[in-house]
Structure 1
Amino acid sequence: MDVDSSAGGDSTRKKAELAGAGEATMDVVPLEMYDSARAKIAANLRWLFAKAYGIDHIPEHLRDPFYTDQYDQEHIKPPVIHLLLSCELYCRVCALILKTEQAVSLQSHLSVIQALSRKGIYVMESDDTPVTEGDLACIPVKMSAHISMIDALMMAYTVEMISIEKVVASVKRFSTFSASKELPFDLEDAVVFWINKVNMKMREMTEREHKVKHHPLESPSHQKSPSKWYWKLVPVRYRREHASGRLLPFFPLLEDLMRDVCDGAALLTVVHYYCPDIMKLEDICLKEVPSIADSLYNIQLLREFANEYLNKSWYLTTEDMLYSPLVLKLNLMVFIAELFWWFETVKPTFVQPRDFQEFKDARAVAHPKTSRPSVPISNATKRSFLVSPGVTDNQSSPEVCNRYFLHPEDSDPL
């Protein structure tokens, strides 16, 4: 009977693993069917609509910019094309980026192109050909020109939120680096630099905790109930392995942004560092070689966080992140720039960096607040502190009183 019960338990676990894997992959488009050109159009339009209307106020007919005709061919909806040709959305988004006095003059495609060029951002085709007003207004629509225009707006938006100087100032607060060897040389390098320094900081902190505790995975902090996302999303296999203590966190360092960020682990580590109370380290799948299911879990966790706490700033699909085609580099950059902006500029109350919390905890341990004795003090004892020798109760000295008050609120009027 015990043998049957044990066998049944193993079978149940295997079924649970298969079910978890199936749930993680059932809605994912296979790589061979993933169309990166279509994904680029969809991601750019999604970002443009979100910034022009506000993420919660995008008209329903624009939420999916594509339609399929009777021949099963996919096209961009006519209302979307009309908006692109009219330049209305470009003017709205550019006005968000520029100062008020400059935004008033935005009335055409050309005015947007000129406004961006004054910020050092040029609207260029993939072959470095400048995009003209005629390219953006021609019919049939020249979609490559509009993609370039949206890319330029995304870049302008990105540089407003993150810069090399801001990244260096941020990293200086929690890490050290060699200015001659590690200083970022462009915006992409600055993004990689920031992510890597946070991951290195987390690795350092974890190793330090491991040295202090002989069995870190058995400490009470790892026995806390996981957050709501963990139980909804974590693969069953990873949950069991993590609970058994066989896995230690692996903090990845990026060499190539698009190649190395696609499993979500490095970005989730950044989120944990800045928001440890919301994104628990044990909820993140941190493996040296993550599986597809692990990556899907991390990506979904990242999307949940961005949508719940960062004003729904996730404009990519799961496949966009998982496959990370080079054409989506700017789309990913603008998302990371928003992360940086929330964590380093806006700093809402839920942003409490790990090293800052450790500093507060260390101060609390080094300087604990002493509670006052609960033993009652008689009036006679108080008078011995308040009244100088030879002075009667009715002739107390103010100078002596002020000098010998240990706690002014403890004194009784005499």
Structure 2
Amino acid sequence: MGQTAGVSALVWIAVVSLAAWLWLLLCQGFFWRTDVRLPPRRDPGEWPYVCVVVPARDEAAVLPASLPSLLAQEYPGRAEVFLVDDGSTDGTGDLAHELARRHGGLPLTVDSPGEPPAGWTGKLWAVRHGVARARARGPEYLLLTDADIAHAPDSLRELVAAARTGGFDVVSQMARLRVESLWERLVVPAFVYFFAQLYPFRRIGRRGSRTAAAAGGCVLIRTEAAERARIPDAIRHAVIDDVALARSVKGGGGHIWLGLADRVDSVRPYPRLHDLWRMVARSAYAQLRHSPVLLAGTVLGLALVYLVPPVALVVGLAAGSGPAAAAGGLAWLTMTATYVPMLRYYRLPLWLAPLLPGTAFLYLLMTVDSAVQHYRGRGAAWKGRTYARPETVSEDG
């Protein structure tokens, strides 16, 4: 009797999981599609002045592969680069000067703002310093890009053309992340897939939609929009600063766009699982607003959506329950099918698609670990800094 009740419960749980996947497939902004690329664009009659701001902390290992690509931008208008050395100990600033001397190209200014005051993350304090220096020159647009991002020679030109043509205040591209090691291939495409599931790109670009997000590695923002939204001061304590920026701009009536990049790439390696674990865990609990309730809901949701389908299929077959096996199998098939476009975008073998439940389980553990580290006082730690939860930060200033 108990075994029958257990199988019956599994059937219902599997059916709920399948229903959740059908809803995600049809009603969540077609998040699984990867054809949201730079929108239609045409060259403006006059190219606006653009300042590129690059916050950098201990980036000497990746700077030779990224900074020359910015200096070599084939932009028809006036542009210059401001690299802000955020307290580096590895010679990042000196290396930037050397790369500029060696490669030439756009004018480069290297500066350092000193340690961030209380209430500021290091990156946003560096961005604030760079933006202030840039604004003094009167640019129409600011390109905020990370020190590990390499841009194709026409990247800036295409971003500006898209912003001007579409009337966007923000145009952001999610850089193609590195997928060379085994763990990168298992974890990285799923990271982008989960992000798109939370923030469907099609909804972000739609006027009137409340969905707002950006990808911090590549954000072109109109200077006027940044001033109106008080960027970065209004988001100074945000660990997930790209989403916070997009929400501030969109909340002030701005029009934003986010999509996948074709020729903007991250050159930062994450060769080990430990490296990827730190990357996700440092901000996962912040994404949940440090809420135990949201954490519990997320764990249950991940288990229902990603773990139940393979369990229901295997247990259903073992117990001779056709309904449980069918519901679990259909849910797993739907999950696998929606993951295939992301694997194709990353040019990875499609046999990785059925492994998504295992990767989702890793993300579940990373999220729980993020909460554990937070309550141990080590949450949101990155490159020697640990940030307080927003509620403990003074709102003065």
Structures share fold, TM-score greater than 0.5: no
Tell me which of the two structures has the higher relative contact order, counting C-alpha pairs closer than 8 angstroms and 6 or more residues apart: 2
Q: TM-score, normalised by structure 2?
A: 0.25
Which has a greater percent of strand?
2
Greater radius of gyration (CA): 1
Larger % of helix: which? 1
